[in-house]
Amino acid sequence: MDPIEIPIDGVLDLHTFLPKEVKPLLYDYIAACRENGIFSLRIIHGKGTGVLKKRVQGILSAHPHVRTVADAPAAAGGWGATLAELKP
């Protein structure tokens, strides 16, 4: 399988990834964002049953470079997205 190129713009859509790929993907994406001076992230995980949302928020909350984790407001995806602020 060919690698998927992801734009480093602070918005990560997880719809095309497998659950087992989420943690390493989030860690790599956070590192790439920080390297590019991006400290506000929106992670799109979809609404579904809430399992992926819970996993994403748990991973982000435990990450040493993440300052805050919050549900996205309705205009930014609501239940289907999570916002994270990174430490500089």
Task: Tell me the per-residue pLDDT of 40-58, one tens digit each, with 9 for 90 and over.
Answer: 999 999 998 999 999 999 9
Residue whose tokens read 């989030």? 26
1 to each of 4, 15, 82, how far by Cα in Å?
A: 9, 17, 28
* Main-chain phi, psi angles of 5, to 5 degrees: -85, 125
User: Which helix H or strand E contains 43, and what residues bound it?
Assistant: strand 40-44
pLDDT of res. 1: 60
Q: Residue 48 corresponds to which amino acid?
A: G
> Which tens digits make up the pLDDT trace of 3-53?
778 889 999 999 989 989 999 999 999 999 999 999 999 999 999 899 999
Which residue blocks in 10-50 are alpha helix, DSSP H? Answer: 22-35
> How many residues are listed for the chain in this entry?
88
